[in-house]
Structure 1
Amino acid sequence: MTVLVFGGSSQIGRYLLPLLAARDESVVALSRTPRAAAHGVTWLAGQLPGEVPAVDGVSAIFSFGPLRQFADWLASAKLPLAPRIIATSSMSAETKRDSEVPAERLISQTLRDGENALAVACAQHSSDWTVLRPTLIYGAGLDKSLTPIARRAMRTHVFPLPAGLGLRQPVHAQDLAFAALAALDTPAAAMKILPIGGGERLTAGEMFARVRRSLPVDTLPVPIPAWALRMARRGVARMRGPLSRLEADLIADNTEVVRLLGVNPRPFRPDGDCWR
């Protein structure tokens, strides 16, 4: 039997592929560009939306990319073995539901539509599915949230520290890989959407401070007071959403992940390797 991975080169996929290969699974991963087989993984060229090569004997599928595109492909794919489906969505499906920014409300709706479409497509194949909804992901240097901030600070040696009392719960990409693999092996996780965050909740301000302390170079801390953030929020339209969320709690309840999957995500203790 074969495990098919969409998003094998993503931040979660980079940690999952070695775990699958260590189980002596036949692993096939999809990439936009051809790659040589390595470490027990066969790479095929393909992408969503677009052409996906046919793979025989697929018993399980992981998807770490756009959920709706994957669901649309799944609905028309030929998968006679009713493979187990593990996919990721995002806690933005809930945290951005009532955002004051229309574009963010649309992101939330798109994520929830993708989750619903996935459930429908899986039903067509009689496939069990599990969706993980992670909070902010870090750890592989591929995220578009903390890594750009860290790298900019390393270049400029200046680190802005915005005030923010909203709670954060960053989750390491490797812990998501552990959770995805555990979901594959846990029948009780089938047909569930599971929130997952890191093992620690901290304020947004403390999260940024820890990123700064983790950097391998010295940086000048530049505190940004709350009043300056409020002015920017009113005056710069594209910053309204991100700045308003500094006072909002963007967290997940890990109760079900711990109970069903036995996964206990690590606390937020980043080091310099997280941003490379």
Structure 2
Amino acid sequence: MSRLSVLVFGGSSQIGHFLLPRLVASGASVTALSRHTRASQPGLRWLHGNLPDALPDELPHPSAVISFGPLRPFADWLARMEFGSEPPRVIATSSMSAETKRDSGEPAERAISQQLRDGEQALAAACARHGAPWTVLRPTLIYGAGLDKSLSPIARRAWRTRVFPLPAGRGMRQPVHAEDIALAVLAALDCPASAGRILPIGGGERLTAHDMFARVRQTLPHANLPIALPAWLLHAGQRFAPAKLRGPLARLDADLIADNSELERLLGVTPRAFQPTADMWFPARG
């Protein structure tokens, strides 16, 4: 990997937080794009810009392109680019929501699922135009860097209020650490057999939604009051909850999991069990 020139979209994301240092340590030449100005460092050049249009002129012609952002803008950018006779290796992340929200009772969630699948198809088509090998990773719920919009806000709110709502939920969950996704990206760069594949990636442990929230609560360093939210209350609440909450409430008894067998077979990556610590709920400083 020492001769790789890598362009990363979404380098400031939770996956990028773990991927960029590993790429630099491997000897790769890394250019990362951010919507906010960031200081470059040896081996890592930050550019200020945003897909699909607000991009700097000095983008390199890389040997690999990685994206952790929305798929369709990335696919549209790829389709417009000219890479010559040596197209880059392309790796992007989607989400297991492409499947788990496909039959949601909420129209907005079904639209998200369709948008993800349309983005995956657009990416495949753009790569086919260039003859570029591509791999898409579909993560489950991501945690680990304090940048997620699911478990981290819950933990930080409980940290402040010392009250932790504990919803009932029999549906299985499979949270995946952002660093394990970064490791899968690195493995895919060196695995031609993963080209043209959409690979689910979940954590190394499946547990009920209730147990997942309880384990988050256990990481908090001070005493907090658990407020049990029984199933009957949650079911009743679906009728009156805001639209953005009705889908998550309805899925508490649904399994939101991934089959890691192809990931492990092709990439040799075995994600860790869900053993969170308190520092995972806060973004790293610096």
| TM-score interval (norm. to shorter) | over 0.9
- Pairs within 5 Å for 1:57-76: 57-76=61-80
1:216 aligns with 2:221: yes
Partner residue of 2:8 out of 5, 19, 22 = 5
CA offsets, 1:87-115, max 9 Å, x none?
00000000000000000000000000000
Question: d(CA) in 1 for partners of 2:20 and 2:228?
Answer: 40
Q: Which of the numbers 153, 165, 172 marks the counterpart of 2:177?
A: 172
Structure 1 residues 161-192: Cα deviation after superposition (integer angstroms, max 9, x where no partner):
00000000000000000001101110000000
Is contact 1:165-1:248 (8 Å) kept?
yes
The CA deviation at 1:40 is: 2.1
Amino acid at match of 1:269: Q
- Report the equivalent of 1:31: 34
1:49 counterpart (49, 52, 77): 52
8 Å contact from structure 2 (residues 138, 200) kept in 1: yes
* In structure 1, distance between residues paired with 2:272 and 2:236: 36
The answer to which of 55-64 and 99-108 deviates more is 55-64
The within-5 A match list for 1:1-276 is 1-53=4-56, 54-80=58-84, 81-238=86-243, 239-276=245-282
Amino acid at match of 1:30: L
| Superposition RMSD in Å | 1.0
SS of aligned partner of 2:264: helix
Shift of 1:39: 4.8
2:112 & 2:200 partners in 1: Cα distance? 17
Contact 1:96–1:108 (CA<8 Å) still a contact in 2?
A: yes
Contact kept? 1:67, 1:89, Cα under 8 Å: yes
Change (3 A) 1:129 1:220: same
The 4+ residue runs of structure 1 with deviation greater than 6 A are: none
Q: Partners of 1:190 and 1:274 in 2: how far apart?
A: 32
> Contact conserved, 1:18 with 1:39, CA < 8 A, in 2?
no
Contact persistence 1:11–1:173 (CA under 8 A): yes
Taking structure 2 as the reference length, what is the TM-score of the superposition? 0.95
Tell me by how many angstroms 1:57 deviates: 3.4
Counterpart of 1:166, as a letter, is G
Which amino acid counterpart does residue 19 of structure 2 have in structure 1? L
CA distance in structure 1 between the partners assigned to 2:149 and 2:279 by the alignment: 16
For the 8 Å contact 1:199–1:268, the answer to whether it is kept is yes
CA distance in 1, matches of 2:98, 2:104: 11
- Cα distance, 1:237 vs. partner? 4.1
Separation of aligned partners in 1, 2:119 and 2:59: 23
User: What displacement does 1:125 show?
Assistant: 1.0
Q: Which amino acid aligns with 1:49?
A: P
- Cα displacement (A) at 1:153: 0.2
Aligned mates of 1:150, 1:39 — CA distance in 2: 35
Distance 1:191 1:167 in 2: 29
Is the contact between residue 7 and residue 60 of structure 2 (CA under 8 Å) also seen in structure 1? no
Contact 2:35 2:49 in 1 (8 A): yes
> How far, CA to CA, are the matches of 1:39 and 1:106 in structure 2?
42
- Which amino acid in the other structure matches residue 88 of structure 2? P
Cα deviation digits, residues 201-252 of structure 1 (max 9, x gap): 0000000000000112221111111111011012224222110000000000
Q: Distance in 2 between matches of 1:35 and 1:243?
A: 38
